[in-house]
Structure 1
Amino acid sequence: MIEKKKVTSEKAVLIGVVTQHQDESMSNEYLDELEFLTTTAGGKAVKRFTQKLDMPNPKTFIGAGKLDDVRDYMDAHHIETAIFDDELSSSQLRNIEKVLDCKVLDRTNLILDIFARRAQTSYARTQVELAQCQYLLPRLTRLWTHLERQKGGIGMRGPGETEIETDRRIIRDKITLLKKKLTVIDKQMAVQRKNRGKMVRVALVGYTNVGKSTLMNVVSKSNVFAENKLFATLDTTVRKVVIKNIPFLLTDTVGFIRKLPTQLVESFKSTLDEVREADLLLHVVDISHANFEDHIASVNKILDEIKSADKPTIMVFNKIDAYEHETIDSDDLVTEKTKRHYTLQDWEKTWMNKENNCLFISALNKENLEEFRAKVFNEVKKIHITRFPYNNFLYDEYTEDGKTV
């Protein structure tokens, strides 16, 4: 009987900095996210290194002494991968590799790798390939010097500058070709969107891993891939949904993330077009995450960049089943009540109360979904009757408790 080999995760160390623009708590949160990204990519983070600097070292990102500490730890524990929390320049990559003599990745490279693994359709694969080529172009020198070190000796000299320039030209030609291919697909998708007619379009937006695909499956009774990992969904999915007697199109889009590579924002332009052309946004938020307010701000920033921040929006606070808060004893007169002590009811009384369009649900456990359907129905109806006013008398109405009138 043949024994199956156990698949071992690639061990890695994570490296970040604490700067004047990124305090220690923020740096730790980014490293938590980087660890989740590493796990999603199939790796295992075994150690974290951080250093306080006014700004990242332009030559080696962190100081020379700290880089030596990283190298000593990696050598002692036989670790061959170092992952940095920010995008590294080509010179930084080259200098770091000389010291660590191992595989060096940055946050952008890691995200691109996950996207490459998760892309299912030809369109998504083309988008990811374009982003990878744009990321790779200024870093070809690093790759060639890496080959020179690995294959030095008689008959194995480095390819030289001429070979590098040849490879750069090949990459540039490929970028041009991929952009042309995406332009053709963009036109096809624009025609598809136009052919959908006047039907109301609703788009799910939000930070990655907040439960958008799970909500999509529940509402549309479809089978969109959903998993507790970052960027489980890359391909845009559109489903026709009917609540009571009003049909609309519901779109599941790629999740956003802080420090999202600029290459991805550009190459995923058409995915974002689905958001731009939506009539109503469902901004899904993982309220069980300790820093969900930062996630909201990050998503709003990207929505603003793509000129979609002023669209009608329903804030959907998901994962109430996983929400936890710290408690204060009634006889404790010292501890000050902060956000980490807030119950869901407390949160509802904060800025969320001013929004009016807020919902608290659990897509996984199907809690408060009737209230969700009622809110979405009433918002879609407002848009629908402006396009089909002659059908106005046919529509039911939902009251706030979800009952039909």
Structure 2
Amino acid sequence: MFERPDVGERAILVHIDFSSHEGSEDPGEFRELVSSAGVEAVGTVTGTRKQPSPRLFVGEGKLEEISDAVALHGADVVLFNHALSPSQERNIERELKCRVLDRTGVILDIFAQRARTHEGKLQVELAQLDHMSTRLIRGWTHLERQGGGIGLRGPGETQLETDRRLLRERIKSIHKRLSKVRRQRDQGRRARKRADIPTVSLVGYTNAGKSTLFNSITRSSVYAADQLFATLDPTLRRLELPDIGPVVMADTVGFIRHLPHKLVEAFRATLQETTEASLLLHIVDSHDDRRDENISQVEDVLLEIRAEEIPVLQVFNKIDLLDNFTPRVERNEEGVPVRAWVSAVSGEGLDGLYDAIVERLAEDVVHYFVLLGPADGKLRALLHEAGSVLSEEHRETGETVLETRLQQRDWLQLLSRAGKSEESVRLDTERT
């Protein structure tokens, strides 16, 4: 009922510039969306208008131009790079005698094709059902023309109510199943929090190269392609970082300009990996002409999901497409890494990015020169066992000086296991 067969379709694309609207959609990005959906764009109709027509969205003359393009190219579907109301969609279909989809419908179609996990498929179906529930009447327009009389009274309305009831029941069932999945995810996140394992989440505009970079950093084989929304399902991988220890890295769904609110709602469980991360890697396509706008769009979505307070390290990817550009790490006035320029494909700059991630996560790493006496053997053994000893020096006085580097939380845990308090441990303050 909800997934289209995997066949090619011929489409006419429609893009109208409205003088009354700010921040109009990008026609180039829409062509990429259509291509990602597996649809062949055989023609494009553009135009300008002050504001949309309430009934047909476009004017009568523009609708005739679209109709001629459909007939000329033998198109199966007309795709609007705009949000259409259910009535506008229905009216346009009635005039053009072919299927009509708006921008949200195209994005939903891509999501339906790309979802791989049980959770991803449930989230996509929920978004589709929410979208479809306002358009149910489209399936029963052939009954609107039937008159009254015995045996013909209200069949369309009866069928429509049945469909609405079935949709409501299905939506309720999906919400239940998603709640179970979310509880399982929450358990995993709580376990990582108890173990104090930091999470690094990759976010960014769709097709910025997140999955390719994720594969390069984690040496994984997550599906990556030069298309919009190649990744829908969150992928988690465990890494071991120097000084930090185990870290979980998460690859998440890409964002897009004017991402439909229903999709943000449906994928809230997936985006939870972002909202509870220790560090966000904001991946940016450095070669994109609309780079700054894309950054702004991602920041808007982060604000919407309440993740704006999480520390961010910007990663400008695809520098291999820039002329004579060398990788580098940029720092703020305090010397903290804030931006890294890399190429996930060629590997340029990945070492610098790796070090920047470690540095950002190691903001609570402590570097101590610990003075130990003969009675401190247990603490010495625990520090060696944790792999946090950088050097060891034995003095003539019988004391031992250990140079240690480890997370503050690990330091406190080791002291507790050794039966010591912070105040009771002697440090070489001149060197610490």
Residue 28 of structure 2 is aligned to residue 32 of structure 1 = yes
Residue 374 of structure 2 is aligned to residue 376 of structure 1 = no
Match of 1:221 among 213, 219, 222: 219
**Structure 1 residues 164 and 353 mapped into 2: Cα distance closer, same or farther (>3 Å)?**
farther
Q: What SS does the corresponding residue of 1:48 show, helix, strand or coil? A: strand
* Structure 2 letter corresponding to 1:275: T
Between the aligned partners of 2:320 and 2:143, the Cα distance in structure 1 is 51
Residue 55 of structure 2 is aligned to residue 59 of structure 1 = yes
* Structure 1 letter corresponding to 2:121: R
Q: Tell me how far 1:61 sits from its aligned partner.
A: 1.3
Residue 191 of structure 2 is aligned to residue 195 of structure 1 = yes
Correspondence for 2:411: 389
Correspondence for 2:87: 91
**Structure 1 residues 156 and 365 mapped into 2: Cα distance closer, same or farther (>3 Å)?**
farther
Residue 204 of structure 2 is aligned to residue 206 of structure 1 = yes
Between the aligned partners of 1:74 and 1:158, the Cα distance in structure 2 is 34
Consecutive unaligned residues in structure 1, runs of 5 or more: 1-6, 150-154, 325-342, 393-405
Q: Which has the larger radius of gyration?
A: 2
Match of 2:232 among 231, 234, 257: 234
Q: Tell me how far 1:278 sits from its aligned partner.
A: 0.2
Correspondence for 1:111: 107
Residue 131 of structure 2 is aligned to residue 135 of structure 1 = yes
Between the aligned partners of 2:48 and 2:216, the Cα distance in structure 1 is 45
Correspondence for 2:262: 263
Q: How does 1:186-335 map to 2 (within 5 A)?
A: 186-196=182-192, 197-246=195-244, 247-323=246-322
Contact 2:206/2:253 (<8 A) preserved = yes
Q: Tell me how far 1:122 sits from its aligned partner.
A: 0.5
| Higher alpha-carbon deviation: 248-257 or 138-147 | 138-147
Between the aligned partners of 2:153 and 2:226, the Cα distance in structure 1 is 46
Q: Tell me how far 1:132 sits from its aligned partner.
A: 0.5
Between the aligned partners of 1:357 and 1:320, the Cα distance in structure 2 is 17
Contact 1:148/1:157 (<8 A) preserved = no
**Residue deviations 1:194-229 (CA, integer Å, cap 9, x gap):** 112310111000001111101111111111110111
Contact 2:329/2:340 (<8 A) preserved = no
Q: Tell me how far 1:373 sits from its aligned partner.
A: 0.7
Q: How does 1:162-181 map to 2 (within 5 A)?
A: 162-181=158-177
Aligned length: 360
Between the aligned partners of 2:249 and 2:337, the Cα distance in structure 1 is 22
Between the aligned partners of 1:352 and 1:118, the Cα distance in structure 2 is 42
Q: Tell me how far 1:285 sits from its aligned partner.
A: 0.1
Give 1 or 2: higher strand fraction. 2
**Structure 1 residues 244 and 391 mapped into 2: Cα distance closer, same or farther (>3 Å)?**
farther
Between the aligned partners of 1:147 and 1:205, the Cα distance in structure 2 is 47
Q: Tell me how far 1:123 sits from its aligned partner.
A: 0.6
Between the aligned partners of 2:360 and 2:140, the Cα distance in structure 1 is 56
Moved over 4 A (4+): 146-149, 155-159, 351-356
Q: What SS does the corresponding residue of 2:53 show, helix, strand or coil? A: coil
| Higher alpha-carbon deviation: 231-240 or 48-57 | 48-57
State the Cα RMSD in Å: 2.9
Between the aligned partners of 1:367 and 1:18, the Cα distance in structure 2 is 40
Between the aligned partners of 1:301 and 1:84, the Cα distance in structure 2 is 24
**Structure 1 residues 95 and 158 mapped into 2: Cα distance closer, same or farther (>3 Å)?**
farther
**Structure 1 residues 352 and 182 mapped into 2: Cα distance closer, same or farther (>3 Å)?**
farther
Q: What SS does the corresponding residue of 1:357 show, helix, strand or coil? A: strand
Contact 2:43/2:73 (<8 A) preserved = no
Between the aligned partners of 2:288 and 2:335, the Cα distance in structure 1 is 22
Between the aligned partners of 2:32 and 2:115, the Cα distance in structure 1 is 19
Q: What SS does the corresponding residue of 1:304 show, helix, strand or coil? A: helix
Contact 1:258/1:298 (<8 A) preserved = yes
Instruction: Tell me the percent identity.
Output: 41
**Structure 1 residues 222 and 148 mapped into 2: Cα distance closer, same or farther (>3 Å)?**
farther
Q: Tell me how far 1:388 sits from its aligned partner.
A: 2.6
Give 1 or 2: higher helix fraction. 1
Q: Tell me how far 1:21 sits from its aligned partner.
A: 5.1
Residue 178 of structure 2 is aligned to residue 182 of structure 1 = yes
* Structure 2 letter corresponding to 1:375: A
Residue 348 of structure 2 is aligned to residue 367 of structure 1 = yes
Between the aligned partners of 1:352 and 1:106, the Cα distance in structure 2 is 46
